[in-house]
Structure 1
Amino acid sequence: MTDRTRRLVLPLAAFLFGLVALGIAAVLTLTPQGREVAASDVGGPFSLVAHDGRPVTHEDFLGEPHLVFFGFTHCPDVCPTKLFEIAETLDAVKERSGRDVKALFVTVDPERDTPEAMRSYVSSFDDRIVGLTGSPEAVDAVVSAYRAFARKVPLDDGDYTMEHTAIVYIMDEEGRFVAGLNTAQAPEDAASELLSRI
């Protein structure tokens, strides 16, 4: 392996290992001992604020399948990558089926992610992605309802970052969890997977 290849492969391998470890940690931390989390245990009612400033609840998104992803606007790599993949998947779904599927981007950092910050951020990706924020208590309730994971991590410079679940949830038209969506595959394949589940 050349030095150049090693410089490219090693950080990518470390990043992927970190994602897997975070997912395992989330499952072990958030799954009650001796009990599997059923699909019906994921999701539920919420009351948040959309990136355009209007109050929204889970009921505003019923009637159509949609995606849910947790993240934050100061995220250095996972969130922008995932939102780009989601946008490409939504384009492929539209091209193949004519359906406009929405995606909800729920912040895990309400302290910094105001509606204005969310609007500026999601506008860089796709207008079918709805940024959602709210009070820390409201956001914590949604994170908990989705069996997700979020934790503030202090940085050496006095700032902080957030560790969080990187799953893309597929929710059906009644707001019930269907499955996680693999957006890291080719957009056409992710679109096929999504269309087969909705």
Structure 2
Amino acid sequence: MRLSRSPSHPGRHPRRPHLGTRRRPVAVGLALLVALVAAGCGGSASKAAGQGPAIVSLDDASPGPGLRGTTLATPMPKPDVALTDMSGHPYRLRAATAGKLTLVYFGYTHCPDVCPTTMADIAAGLSQTSEAVRRQVSVVFVTTDPDRDTPAVLRSWLTQFDPTFVGLTGTTAQITADADKFGIPVEPPRREADGSWVVDHGSQVTAFNPDGLARTVYLAGVTPADYAHDIPMLLKGA
């Protein structure tokens, strides 16, 4: 079934980034428990309930030495995700991004705030680095709304931010399973009683160093300047 937003609610997104009604701990590596709250994109329950920003806690995590992102207590190996790229070809994340700093984000193109803001911030941060640095960075966007986010839609949307960004899609079951490998909660899109669609997904950016291990994640409030500051350091193994 193809998902579409009700014409009577164009661009409606009553929930703010990092709002939601569910919270579940996700194990990362052996020691780190990340309490992630799905960002509800579409629907009206959270705002109507008057909820404030949900707390995102990272047990045993802290700002990295000199970094502006949040450092994981236990590094996360890059999952060997196999999805479909914007050309309709198979894409193996681990092989395609080997030796590069890889920023991975799960979201969807119809999201009117947190997803485009995150992509824009990463693109702006990269624009503040040198060409030599940018060549060593891969940005991967995995859709959480595969019925609407076809390869062509992903290409058109991501090109607005940076033509080098890679968009991946697959079945809902594949994407949900792959998100679990990152410790990111993702739920299938669902339609609300008012006709709008809700797409719940965790909204952090996971940064995998060139050695294939993620030691840093980026949460709400990260600016382009923060990305520009951290990316060269991450390339050097920070």
TM bin (shorter chain): 0.7 to 0.9
CA deviation string 1:165-194 (max 9, x = no partner): 111111122432120135844423321122
- Aligned partner of 1:31: which letter? A
Matching residue within 61, 64, 73 for 2:100: 64
Matching residue within 152, 157, 175 for 1:116: 152
- Aligned partner of 1:30: which letter? V
Deviation at 1:79, TM superposition (A): 0.6
Does 2:81 align with 1:46? Answer: yes
RMSD: 2.8
What is the alpha-carbon distance in structure 1 between the residues aligned to residue 126 and residue 183 of structure 2? 24
What is the alpha-carbon distance in structure 2 between the residues aligned to residue 182 and residue 192 of structure 1? 15
SS in structure 2 of the partner of residue 116 of structure 1: helix
SS in structure 2 of the partner of residue 29 of structure 1: strand
Query: 2:77, 2:212 within 8 Å by CA — same for their partners in 1?
Result: no
What is the alpha-carbon distance in structure 2 between the residues aligned to residue 50 and residue 39 of structure 1? 30
Query: 1:43, 1:177 within 8 Å by CA — same for their partners in 2?
Result: yes
CA deviation string 1:10-53 (max 9, x = no partner): xxxx83xx52x55x92xx33239x95346444641111111122
> Which one has the bigger helix percentage?
1
Using the aligned pairs only, state the percent identity.
29
Does 2:72 align with 1:36? Answer: no
2:55 — aligned with what?
Answer: none
1:42/1:147 Cα in 2 relative to 1: closer, same or farther (>3 Å)? farther
What stretches of structure 1 of length at least 5 have no aligned partner?
A: 1-13
Deviation at 1:159, TM superposition (A): 4.3
CA deviation string 1:66-107 (max 9, x = no partner): 110110111121111111111101111236x54322200011
2:124 — aligned with what?
Answer: 88
What is the alpha-carbon distance in structure 2 between the residues aligned to residue 174 and residue 113 of structure 1? 30
- Aligned partner of 2:206: which letter? Y
What is the alpha-carbon distance in structure 2 between the residues aligned to residue 46 and residue 63 of structure 1? 16
What stretches of structure 2 of length at least 5 have no aligned partner?
A: 1-14, 34-72
Query: 2:31, 2:74 within 8 Å by CA — same for their partners in 1?
Result: no
Does 2:140 align with 1:104? Answer: yes
2:90 — aligned with what?
Answer: 55
Task: Please give the residue correspondences for 1:102-181 in structure 2 after superposition, counting only pairs within 5 Å.
Answer: 102-151=138-187, 152-181=189-218
What is the alpha-carbon distance in structure 2 between the residues aligned to residue 165 and residue 111 of structure 1? 19
What is the alpha-carbon distance in structure 2 between the residues aligned to residue 158 and residue 45 of structure 1? 36
Query: 1:181, 1:194 within 8 Å by CA — same for their partners in 2?
Result: no
Query: 1:66, 1:173 within 8 Å by CA — same for their partners in 2?
Result: yes
Matched residue count:
178
